[in-house]
Structure formats: C-alpha cells, structure tokens
C-alpha cells in the first residue's frame, strides 16, 4: 500500500484505494450475478453431460415451476394465454429458440404438455435445460432443504 | 502486489513487474464469472404433433424407439443420488436392456447412419419423473452427440 521513492517528490495520484474500491464492487457484482438470471427459482434436473444451449438472453425462457405453473421470462401465464404470450415474446425474431427450465420434481407429462403448447404456437424444437451434477444454480438451496 | 515496498527508490530493481499481469488476469476472471451463470445447458428435443412439423421421414423398420415404463424403471419420484436406480431397465428397439447399456446400444444401432437420420424416438410414460427421464436421455446421447430426440405420445 505504500509508494516507494521516499527521496523524490511524488506528483502521482495514489490509485491504490481506487483500485481496491473497484475490485470490491466487482466482487459484489460477481456474487450477485447468478441471482440476476431470469425467471422464478426452480431446481433444475441434474444430469451427467448436458450440452451447451447458448446464452439465456438470446432465448425465450419458459419456466415450469414445481407446481406446474408456466412462466415466460419473469411473467406467469395461465395455460390458456400461454401460446399468446409465447408469440408476443418472440416478437420479430425470425428464428426464435425456446428453452424450458423445468423443475426436477415435475412429472414428464407436465413438461410434455408445455412442449406441445410451444409446438402449437409455431416453434419447432425446444431445449430442455438441465445442469451438470455438482454445479449450483439459483434456487438450489430450496431443493437441498427439501431432501 | 507491491514488490518494492521495502526497497528504497534509489536501488536498482530486477523484479518483474507483475501488476499488469495481475490486472489482466483479474479482468479475465471477472468476465468469465459474469458470463458463466447466463449460459444454459441442456438437451435439444422435438415433439412432432402438428402437420407443419412432421416427424422426420423414416421407414418404419428403421425407427429406433426407446420406451420407458415405470414398472421396469422406477423413476416415478426424483431419482436419489446422481444416477438412475441400479435395476432400471428400458426397452430399445423391442429389447429390454439395462439402462446402463444404453450408450453402447444406441451407438451400435445409430452410429452407422448419416447425421440427419440419427433419430431416437422416446416413448416415455407421462407419470415418470422429469429428472429421471432426462438422465436416460443423457445416457442415450452420451456416445452420439448429434442425436435427435423426438418425444412421441404413448397414450
């Protein structure tokens, strides 16, 4: 933290405290970043080798919570308005990609229903989001507490 | 970080200045940590029910169907631990096999086909747990990366 050169005059601004503050801010930001991801908390299924599905900002993010409720990004949708919401979320995107973040405790039928609705709304193919075993994402603590 | 803190300014310094290196490393670390949580991982899957998106045309005898029923593989509840129940069995091309054999069997049956014909039709019971089914999908895909998964309805 000390600058050397005691014998000469120092006209240099001491940037060390500034750097300290910036680094602390960055660390705070880094810690908060995982909480910034869109959608409600779900416990994603753990699998051994999930494939890359791209950046969530370029996808229409459909979340199915533990109770089977449907979400598009941060907004909850009743089933009858779901397709309409999907089309609105796609906007002008010529090739929109839909991914499903389904809770690990769901039954397959609930996910299948959402897939059918997405297909009927005119989107072909979905990404089923999972996470690699051993990694943590937002909402995992709830799962751990329940087990 | 301050290599010269105990040395007076008039001395010769022969230390490497690590500060720019540390700066670059920190910035890279930060970029990496910010981007990683936004990356999604998972499996591509299709469900072909509408006339606009027909099932990829395949002769019926070459369709590879993987069926999962709760009596052979007990995954009605989320599987415990990291894998599937040890006695989990699935039916691939009308033969019941242990789920652990799936990677080898799928590779054997589909490995020789061109990429666009590597399609696995998945007939899974709606009552099964989603996580369990995804783990079976993961096994099926583990040897063939570009495998297309088509969900078909069983009821």
Specify the 3-state DSSP secondary structure of B97. Answer: strand
Distance CA A106, CA A112 (A): 10
Q: Which domains does chain A have, with CATH numbers?
A: 46-146 (3.30.420.270)
pLDDT digits (tens, 9 = 90+) for B88-103: 899 998 889 998 899 9
| Distance between start and end Cα atoms, chain A | 48
For the question of whether the overall pTM of this predicted structure is more than 0.90, the answer is no
Q: CB A51 to CB B41 under 8 A?
A: yes
Rg (CA), chain A: 22
Q: CB A127 to CB B44 under 8 A?
A: yes
Count of CB pairs separated by less than 8 Å, A with B: 163
Query: Is the pLDDT assigned to residue A142 strictly greater than 50?
Result: no
Tokens of A124: 């072909």
Distance CA B138, CA B125 (A): 17
Chain B residues with beta carbon closer than 8 angstroms to that of A112: 47, 126, 151, 153
Chain A residues with beta carbon closer than 8 angstroms to that of B125: 108
pLDDT digits (tens, 9 = 90+) for A43-56: 889 999 888 887 77
Whole-number pLDDT of residue B6: 52
pLDDT digits (tens, 9 = 90+) for A64-99: 999 989 999 888 999 899 999 998 988 888 788 899
Q: CB A45 to CB B34 under 8 A?
A: no
Specify the 3-state DSSP secondary structure of B123. Answer: strand
């Amino acid at each position: 933290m000390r600058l050397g050169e005691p014998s000469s005059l120092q006209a240099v601004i001491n940037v060390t405290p500034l750097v300290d503050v910036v680094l602390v801010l960055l660390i705070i930001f880094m810690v908060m970043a995982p909480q910034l991801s869109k959608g409600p908390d779900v416990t994603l299924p753990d699998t051994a080798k999930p494939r890359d599905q791209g950046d969530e900002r370029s996808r229409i993010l459909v979340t199915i919570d533990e109770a089977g409720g449907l979400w598009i990004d941060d907004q909850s949708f009743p089933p009858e308005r779901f397709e309409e919401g999907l089309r609105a979320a796609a906007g002008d995107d010529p090739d929109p990609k839909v991914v499903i973040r389904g809770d690990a405790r769901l039954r397959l039928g609930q996910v299948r229903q959402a897939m059918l609705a997405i297909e009927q709304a005119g989107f072909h193919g979905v990404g089923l989001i999972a996470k690699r075993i051993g990694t943590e994402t937002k909402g995992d603590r709830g799962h751990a507490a329940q087990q | 970080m301050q290599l010269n803190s105990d040395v007076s300014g008039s001395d010769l310094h022969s230390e490497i200045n690590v500060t720019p290196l540390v700066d670059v490393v920190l910035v890279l670390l930060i970029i990496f940590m910010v981007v990683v949580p936004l990356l999604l991982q998972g499996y591509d899957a299709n469900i072909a029910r509408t006339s606009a998106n027909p099932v990829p045309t395949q002769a019926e005898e070459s369709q590879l169907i993987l069926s999962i029923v709760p009596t052979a593989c007990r995954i009605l509840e989320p599987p415990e631990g990291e894998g599937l129940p040890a006695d989990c069995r699935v039916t691939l091309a009308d033969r019941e096999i242990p789920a652990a054999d799936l990677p080898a069997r799928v590779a054997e049956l589909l490995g020789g086909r061109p990429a666009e014909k590597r399609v696995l039709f998945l007939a899974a019971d709606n009552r099964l747990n989603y996580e369990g089914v995804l783990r079976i999908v993961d096994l099926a895909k583990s040897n063939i990366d570009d495998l297309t998964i088509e969900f078909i309805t069983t009821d």
